[in-house]
Every structure is written in structure tokens, then in C-alpha cells.
Amino acid sequence: MGYNGAMKKELNPKQSAFCREYVKDYNGTQAAIRAGYSKKTAQEQSSQHLSKLIIQQEIARRESLIENKVLVTKDKILRELSILGFSDMQDHVTIDDAGCVQAVGIDNLPVGASRAIKKVKEKRVIKSIQGTKDKPSEDVILERTFEFELHDKITPLINMGKELGMFRDRKEIGLDDQTVELILSALPPDYASQVRAKLLEMKDKP
């Protein structure tokens, strides 16, 4: 029997559904819930499924199909926009008591968070000190500059809002200037200012 036949025979409907849902966002717990498992046992079911070779093979098969077909869905685009729009610098860097900035290792980032990184740059000024009979040569870091930048958040947030129908023309949904300002007042001041500027820019466009 061929490979596909073996998969169909050995996987029950819920397991097949789990594999199908898992490759959508790689969230095991949510995939289990969407596959029909209860919320109480979803995390446990996900862990058990992902440890099984037959499940891993089916997931790999589905990933291959996705790669071959180059499937791009509306949900995937929105997920990518959400990674950028809801990115948090706190997930990517740490700052110690002395003010030293350190990047969080890629392996320790939340799933997908690395895709929000726009730039990582480190510059060091190093001086080599000649060793002596009693002390070996060494390199001393005189200056260290670290730059870390995430992709723009505001544009992805507005694009998501448009796609979800949140930013229709204000006349269409009956929002006056006072109501808009009330909504913006619930946002952090810096974000509110940027969103306000974007809305004004959109309003001025023909």
C-alpha cells in the first residue's frame, strides 16, 4: 500500500483533522480544539499527537503540499500582519540594571516573533593588548554599540483593521470626530498619535 494509503488507514478522523489544523498556525492546543477535542484536554492531546511519528509524518506531508502549491490564504496574511502589528520589544531584548541591552536568543523568542525583526546590528571597537611573559595577549572591548529594530507596527495594524472592516469611512459607520477621539483615548498616547496621523492621511486622500 502506498504512503498516502497508510496515512489514511492509521489516522482516525480527529487525528487527520489535527494535522490539517496544525499546519495552519502551528498552535497545537488550538489545532486540537478545532479538530474537535475538548478545551480541557486539548493541550494534552496536542502534546501526545506531536510526539507520535505517524502524526509527524502526516504534518510533514501536508507541509510539503503547502510548499508545492504555494498556498497563500487570507488568514495567513492576517497572521503575518498580526505578528508585526502586535510585536513587543520586550520579547526581543533584555535590559539589565546597568542599562546594558542584550538580544534574546532566537530559540527563546515566542513562536513567529523572529519575523517581526527588521534589523540587528552590533558594532565593537576592540583593542589588542600585547601580552607579556606573565600575561597572555588579549583583546579588550573599548566600545560596543547595539542596534535592534522591529518592523513598523502602525501600518500592519491599520491594514488589519481595514481587512476586518474596522476602518470604514466614518460617515458609513456613523463615527464623528468626538467618537473617534474617545476611541483613540483608550490607546497608549504614542500609538494614538500615530493612528490619528494615519487616519488623517487616509481622510485627505481622494
Task: For residue 96, give the C-alpha cell.
Answer: 539589565
Same domain, 66 and 116: no
Torsion angle of the four alpha carbons 23, 25, 26, 29, in this order, in degrees rounded to the nearest 10: -110
Is the pLDDT score of 78 beyond 60? yes
Confirm whether 155 is domain-assigned: no
**Band of residue 96 on the pLDDT scale cut at 50, 70, 90:** confident
Mean pLDDT in residue range 100-108: 82
Q: What are phi and psi of 59, to 5 degrees?
A: -65, -45
Domain boundary among the residues 29, 44, 71 is at: 71
Is residue 141 packed enough to be buried (19+ CB in 10 Å), middle (13-18) or exposed (0-12)? Answer: exposed
Q: Does residue 11 share a domain with residue 64?
A: yes
Boundary-marking domain end, from 104, 120, 150: 150
In this structure, is residue 160 part of a structural domain?
Answer: no
CB 160 within 8 A of CB 81: yes
Identify the domain boundary among 45, 71, 97: 71
Residues 133 and 174 in one domain: no
Same domain? For 67 and 99 the reply is no
Residue 71 has pLDDT above 60, yes or no: no
The share of the chain scoring above pLDDT 90, in percent, equals 19
Written as one string, the DSSP assignment of the chain is: --HHHHHHHHS-HHHHHHHHHHHHH--HHHHHHHTT--TTTHHHHHHHHHT-HHHHHHHHHHHHHHHHHT---HHHHHHHHHHHHT--GGGTEEE-TT--EEEPPGGGSPTTGGGGEEEEEEEEEEEEE---SSS--EEEEEEEEEEEEEPPSHHHHHHHHHHTT-S--HHHHT--HHHHHHHHTTS-HHHHHHHHHHHHHHHH--
User: Which pTM does this prediction carry?
Assistant: 0.40
Q: Which three cell numbers stand for residue 86?
A: 502586535
Whether 188 is in a domain gets the answer: yes
Which residue do the cell numbers 523568542 mark?
Answer: 109
Domain extent at residue 179: 168-204
What CATH number does residue 44 fall under? 1.10.10.1400
| Class of residue 186 by CB neighbours under 10 A (exposed 0-12, middle 13-18, buried 19+) | exposed
Residue 95 maps to a domain:
yes
Within-domain flag for 103 = yes
- 162 in a domain, yes or no? no
Give residue-wise pLDDT tens across range 172-196. Answer: 444 566 666 766 676 667 767 777 7
> What confidence tier does 32 reach under pLDDT thresholds 50, 70, 90?
very high
Question: 157 lies in a domain?
Answer: no
Beta bridge partners of 93: 103
Residue 84: is its pLDDT beyond 60?
Answer: yes
Residue 31 belongs to some domain of the structure: yes
61 and 20 together in one domain: yes
Structural domains in the chain (count)? 3
